[in-house]
A = this chain, B = another copy of it.
Amino acid sequence: METLAEPETITAKSCSKRTCPTGMAGIRDALYVLNGKWKLPLLFALTDGPMRFKDIQRALGDITPKILSKELKELELNEFVVRNVYSTTPVTVTYGLTPYSESLDAVLFALKDWGISHRKRIVASRKADIT
């Protein structure tokens, strides 16, 4: 996995129109790195502090070790996550967020808040259907 798609040179410094190439490219770049079913939930789970492999697995519910391992590696590659190994017996490994990962906070929170309020809306409209 690479860290980013080919860098289509972007010239504009800022964009008034929201669909300007830069804006669209921004969306796509972000999605390119945060793709898949697990990366955002994973990052969110780690915001409380480093966790061990098995604990992450439990926190995310039904992710298999294979997938989890792969996702963690990709997050490491993109410098969102650090892997720490402790020489206990048996060995202990934790995964924690990097300082750079904090740059994603706005995205994470916006997404979380929206998800929560969206669910409320859906639930409310379902009740209305019944009534």
Residues on A lying within 8 angstroms of B by beta carbon are 3-4, 7, 10, 17-19, 22-31, 33, 35, 37, 40-41, 44-45, 47-48, 59, 103-104, 106-119, 122-123
Tallying the copies of this chain within the complex gives 2
Min C-beta distance of A41 to chain B, whole Å = 5
Q: List 9 A-B contacts (CB under 8 A).
A: A23-B112, A24-B45, A25-B116, A26-B113, A26-B115, A26-B119, A30-B112, A31-B111, A103-B114
**Does the CB pair B19–A59 fall under 8 Å?**
yes
In the complex, A104 Cα to B115 Cα: how many Å?
10
Dominant SS among interface residues on chain A = helix
- Nearest chain B residue, comparing its CB with the CB of A18: B47
**Does the CB pair B41–A115 fall under 8 Å?**
no
**Does the CB pair A119–B47 fall under 8 Å?**
no
Min C-beta distance of A91 to chain B, whole Å = 24
**Does the CB pair A111–B19 fall under 8 Å?**
no
Min C-beta distance of A13 to chain B, whole Å = 10
**Does the CB pair A112–B31 fall under 8 Å?**
no
Identify A44's interface contact among B23, B33, B44, CB under 8 A: B23
**Does the CB pair B114–A30 fall under 8 Å?**
yes
